[in-house]
């Protein structure tokens, strides 16, 4: 089979692949490919370039996943309302004056006068209604709402939320909510007082349960500059965002204000078309970087360690000291024909034993050990999550752990 000498085209492709993918191993040959000759080699090189470029970009994050655009965010809404139609699981009116006052006010608006009457309904519950108004939501669109009981209602199952105004922080009404409530739990009880509860039956939601009535006046295309807020502030990531944007939009259009903010000045080519600029920016791939951090949840024994965690040379020994206390009380009874006044007594007897695991091991972790080395070394000791928390804190106290420990 004939072999072709390496052509300038082949050499250019290989050089380009090595330049754009510095971490990849690029093998090439001047031999013919599947179809033979330069055409086959070119097909193979292009295929390798596509596959490797896809793998490289898959490891990067998009700008839209790393930053939040100024003004493009949710807005919190909240309201107070009544849920009716409950099967005897609502608020006890004698214990919840606000529920009774709300019922009286609602009935009066419907032309029913109940002033001075003692209401005994158990089918009504006072609730708070919360929602998130998405950016650029238009009047007439629907949004999801969450509902939570305020009083001593046992369950919102089967209830219907009456028309409730949802207000923003400025006091204006932005949406109106109403509809049947869906809950993710239940409660059942018997006549003896025993019962079972699954989930939280006093919380519920209504999908598309609110209609937007007022729009937020925000004109994105009229902005002369835009700020990007990093979800996880980091100076290296912010610098990478700036560089990628300058390469795509134009040199000098963006700058790093602080580790959490990148300001982009709208260039002349995008005047009046900020949306188009964001569309070109948000899908750009960037490399992110975060400080080494270990997050510990002592309540559940959960430990999460980032890939950048490193340790200096350290030896770790772990052993469990077990103290076991057994109580075996004995009952001493009087003998037959004992004198009057003799009583049966309980004689306490305690047996205390102390033991230490004999199979203790010592693991040595060398300088610059990675997360994999750290976990492997601690697993060699048979360390569980609870013990691992203490070991990590001890290594940090010894100055051998190059990472922050965050305890929750």
Nearest to 363 by CA among 315, 398, 400, 309: 315
- pLDDT over threshold 70, residue 315: yes
Tell me which of 352 and 281 has the higher pLDDT.
281
Q: How far apart are CA 40 and CA 66, in angstroms?
A: 41
The kind and range of the H/E element at 227 are strand 225-230
Alpha helices for 218-370 (secondary structure H): 235-249, 274-282
Q: What angle do CA 136, 137, 141 make, to 5 degrees?
A: 155
Of 195, 304, 232, 202, nearest in space to 67 by CA: 232
Measured between its terminal Cα atoms, the distance across the chain in Å is 67
Residues 91 and 368: their CA atoms lie apart, in Å, by 61
Q: 124 Cβ partners below 8 Å, 6+ apart?
A: 82, 83, 84, 86, 90, 91, 99, 103
Confidence of residue 166 (pLDDT cuts 50, 70, 90): very high
Q: Which CATH code of 3.40.1130, 2.60.120, 3.30.70, 1.10.3470 fits the domain covering 220-286?
A: 3.30.70
Q: Which helix (H) or strand (E) holds 376?
A: helix 371-380
Phi and psi at 179, nearest 5°, equal 145, 175
Residues counted in the chain? 408
Q: What pTM value is reported for the model? A: 0.60
Q: Of all helices (H) and strands (E), which one includes residue 209?
A: strand 203-212
Helix axes 235-249, 274-282, angle to 10 degrees: 120
Burial letters 176-195, b for 16+ CB under 10 A, else e:
ebbbebebeeebeeeeeeee
Q: What is the pLDDT of residue 9?
A: 53
Give me the DSSP letters along 137-180. Answer: PPTT-EEEEEEEE-SS-S--TT-EEEEEEEE-TTS-EEEEEEEE
The rounded Cα 217 to chain-centroid distance in angstroms is 30
Sign of the CA dihedral with 401 first, then 404, 407, and 408 last: negative
Q: Give the SS3 label for residue 29.
A: coil
Top pLDDT among 359 and 292 is at 292
Distance CA 205, CA 130 (A): 9
Eight-state DSSP code of residue 34: S
Q: What are phi and psi of 319, to 5 degrees?
A: -145, 150
Region label for 308, one of left (φ > 0), alpha (ψ between -120 and 50) or beta (otherwise)? alpha
- Average pLDDT on 322-344 reads 68
State the Cα–Cα distance between residues 28 and 15, nearest whole angstrom. Answer: 11
Residue 78 has pLDDT above 90, yes or no: yes
Q: How sure is the predictor about 218, in pLDDT bands with cuts at 50, 70 and 90?
A: confident
pLDDT band at 404 (very low <50, low <70, confident <90, very high): confident
Instruction: Return the number of other C-beta atoms located less than 10 Å from residue 387's C-beta.
Output: 16
What's the pLDDT score for residue 133?
93
Range with the poorest average pLDDT among 22-26, 68-72, 259-263, 360-364: 22-26
The Cα 69–Cα 101 span in angstroms is 44
99: helix, coil or strand? Answer: helix
Banded model confidence at residue 119, pLDDT cuts 50, 70, 90: confident
CB atoms within 10 A of CB 135: 13
Q: pLDDT over 70 for what percent of the chain?
A: 70
Residue 171 has pLDDT above 80, yes or no: yes
**What are 3-48's pLDDT values in tens digits?**
445 556 556 655 655 554 444 444 444 443 444 444 444 444 444 4
Residue 338 neighbours by CB under 8 Å, 6+ apart? none
How many CA atoms are closer than 13 Å to the CA of 283, on its beta-carbon side?
4
Q: Which residues pair with residue 83 across a beta bridge?
A: 125, 161
Give mean pLDDT, residues 266-272. Answer: 89
Q: Whole-angstrom Cα distance, residue 290 to residue 190?
A: 54
What is the CA 208 to chain-centroid distance, rounded? 23
**Taking residues 154-170, what's their average pLDDT?**
93
Contact present, 161 and 83 (Cβ < 8 Å): yes
Q: Which pLDDT does position 372 carry in this prediction?
A: 65
pLDDT in tens, 173-216: 999 999 999 988 767 666 666 677 777 889 999 999 999 999 88
Domain range annotation of the chain: 8-59, 75-186+197-212, 220-286, 294-333+345-407
């Amino acid at each position: 089979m004939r072999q072709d000498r390496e052509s300038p085209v082949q050499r250019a492709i290989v050089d380009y692949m090595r330049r754009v993918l510095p971490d990849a191993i690029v093998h090439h040959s001047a031999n013919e490919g599947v179809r033979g000759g330069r055409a086959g080699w070119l097909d193979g090189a292009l295929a390798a370039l596509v596959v490797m470029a896809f793998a490289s970009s898959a490891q990067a994050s998009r700008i839209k996943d790393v930053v939040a655009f100024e003004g493009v965010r949710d807005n919190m809404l909240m309201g107070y309302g009544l849920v009716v139609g409950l099967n005897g699981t609502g608020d006890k009116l004698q214990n919840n004056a606000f529920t009774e006052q709300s019922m009286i006010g609602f009935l009066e608006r419907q032309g029913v006068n109940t002033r001075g009457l003692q209401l005994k309904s158990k089918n009504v519950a006072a609730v708070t209604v919360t929602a998130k108004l998405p950016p650029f939501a238009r009047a007439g669109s629907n949004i999801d709402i969450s509902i939570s009981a305020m009083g001593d209602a046992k369950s919102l199952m089967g209830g219907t939320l009456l028309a409730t105004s949802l207000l923003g922080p400025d006091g204006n009404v932005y949406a109106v909510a109403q509809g049947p409530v869906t809950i993710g739990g239940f409660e059942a009880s018997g006549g003896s007082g025993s019962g079972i509860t699954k989930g939280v039956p006093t919380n519920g939601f209504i999908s598309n349960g609110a209609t937007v009535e007022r729009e937020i006046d925000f004109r994105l295309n009229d902005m002369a500059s835009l700020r990007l807020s990093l979800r996880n502030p980091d100076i290296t990531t912010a610098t990478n965002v700036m560089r990628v944007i300058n390469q795509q939009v134009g040199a000098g259009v963006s700058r790093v204000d602080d580790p959490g903010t990148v300001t982009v000045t709208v260039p002349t080519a995008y005047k009046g078309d900020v949306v188009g600029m964001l569309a070109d920016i948000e899908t750009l791939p960037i490399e992110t970087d975060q400080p080494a951090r270990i997050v510990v949840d002592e309540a559940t024994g959960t430990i999460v360690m980032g890939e950048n965690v490193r340790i200096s040379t350290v030896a770790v020994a772990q052993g469990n000291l077990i103290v076991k206390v057994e109580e075996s009380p004995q009952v001493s009874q009087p003998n037959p024909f004992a004198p009057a006044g003799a009583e049966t007594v309980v004689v306490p007897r305690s047996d205390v034993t102390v033991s230490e695991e004999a199979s203790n091991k010592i693991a040595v972790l060398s300088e610059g050990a990675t997360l994999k080395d750290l976990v492997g070394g601690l697993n060699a000791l048979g360390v569980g999550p609870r013990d691992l928390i203490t070991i990590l804190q001890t290594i940090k106290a010894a100055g051998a752990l190059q990472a922050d420990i965050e305890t929750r």
